[in-house]
């Protein structure tokens, strides 16, 4: 018997095989859960429908995939359509995975102090407010005792040069998790965040993940980086009944990097290099 047998839910934000959301969804479906997927709509002039084709290739042949639906989270009609699709194809849902973030490249790559006003608004709307919008629209579809999970990063807690405006968005997202946990707690609905260390993903590459991988390996108590499988395990745990007493929590999956108050073993490497 699988951990998600009889469970149904919505997964947002899968872009490709390297997406953390896909690692979580794969684990859920391997444990018997049924998933509906939303994806970024293709542009009107994109005859190849790259986004749709990408997720179709990932999900084809999997009997636990119940629908694929485009959704622009800046559009309330799109969000409502996805919830209608959940209601029609899944009924009440037991989990909702929010994996959505975006910032204009010029704002993400530039110094935080130079973030444009319009870019700030857009990044906040898509990366933070979208969790509120989805949770609100899903209230009638979420079953009592359901679980909501979003994906965050340590750059929302501490300044991580290069993460810039997205770090501010993640700080807002972390706070939203706590307030939604209170709002939905009366129905037993839990809201948590998974704060994963660097992984090779589309969003990670945009934030300089290659440099971060070496830093985490050198500083984390475990002395290594995390894996996609570990992200899938941790995320599915937070969406399952196994975490029924946990809400308003940010779970760090980073080999213990967040616990360090000094460079740790990295300092030893630096000293050894200087001594040579």
Structure tokens of 56? 């179709």
User: How high does pLDDT run on average in the chain?
Assistant: 93
The DSSP bridge pattern shows strands 65-70 and 93-98 to be: unpaired
Q: Does 116 score more than 70 pLDDT?
A: yes
State residue 276's pLDDT score.
54
| Catalytic residue status for 257 | no
**Alpha-carbon radius of gyration of the chain:** 19
Annotate 180-220 with DSSP letters as a single string: HHHHHHTTT-EEEEEEE---SSHHHHHTTHHHHHHHHHHHS
Cα angle 130, 103, 100; round to 5:
35
Provide the terminal-to-terminal Cα distance of the chain, rounded to the nearest Å.
57
Of the candidates 39, 129, 163, 179, the residue annotated as catalytic is 163
Residues 81-103: tens digit of each pLDDT: 999 999 999 999 999 999 999 99
Compute the average pLDDT of residues 177-193. Answer: 98
- Report pTM: 0.94
Residues 198-224: tens digit of each pLDDT: 997 655 555 557 778 989 999 999 999
Q: How far is CA 35 from CA 25, 86, 138, 183, 264, in A?
A: 8, 9, 15, 25, 41
Nearest CA among 75, 68, 57 for reference residue 17: 57
Of the candidates 39, 129, 153, 216, the residue annotated as catalytic is 153
| Catalytic residue status for 216 | no
- The fraction of the chain above a pLDDT of 70, given in percent, is 94
Q: Does 268 score more than 80 pLDDT?
A: no
State residue 15's pLDDT score.
93
State residue 205's pLDDT score.
54
Residues 28-70: tens digit of each pLDDT: 999 999 999 999 999 877 778 999 999 999 999 999 999 999 9
Domains of the chain: 8-275 (3.40.50.720)
State residue 266's pLDDT score.
79
Nearest CA among 151, 135, 130, 264 for reference residue 201: 151
Nearest CA among 210, 205, 183, 190 for reference residue 251: 190
């Amino acid at each position: 018997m699988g951990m998600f047998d009889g469970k149904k839910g919505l997964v947002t934000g899968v872009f490709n095989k390297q997406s953390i959301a896909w690692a979580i969804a794969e684990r859920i479906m391997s444990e018997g859960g049924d998933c509906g997927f939303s994806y970024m709509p293709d542009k009107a002039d994109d005859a190849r429908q790259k986004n749709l084709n990408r997720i179709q290739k990932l999900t084809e042949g999997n009997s636990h995939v119940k629908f694929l639906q485009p959704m622009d989270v800046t559009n309330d009609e799109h969000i409502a359509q996805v919830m209608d699709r959940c209601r029609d194809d899944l009924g009440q849902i037991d989990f909702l995975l929010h994996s959505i973030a975006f910032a204009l490249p010029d704002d993400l790559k530039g110094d935080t102090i130079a973030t444009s006003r319009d870019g700030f608004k857009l990044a906040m709307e898509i990366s933070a407010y979208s969790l509120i919008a989805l949770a609100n629209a899903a209230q009638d579809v979420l079953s009592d005792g359901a679980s909501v999970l979003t994906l965050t990063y340590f750059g929302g807690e501490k300044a991580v040069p290069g993460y810039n405006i997205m770090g501010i968005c993640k700080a807002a997202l972390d706070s939203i998790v706590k307030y939604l946990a209170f709002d939905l707690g009366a129905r037993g609905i839990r809201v948590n965040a998974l704060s994963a260390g660097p992984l090779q993903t589309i969003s990670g590459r945009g934030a300089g993940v290659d440099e971060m991988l070496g830093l985490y390996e050198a500083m984390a108590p475990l002395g290594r980086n995390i894996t996609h499988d570990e992200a899938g395990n941790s995320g599915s745990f937070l969406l399952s009944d196994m975490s029924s007493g946990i809400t308003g929590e940010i779970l760090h999956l980073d080999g213990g990097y967040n616990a360090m108050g000094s460079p740790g073993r990295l300092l030893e490497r630096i000293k050894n290099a200087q001594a040579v």
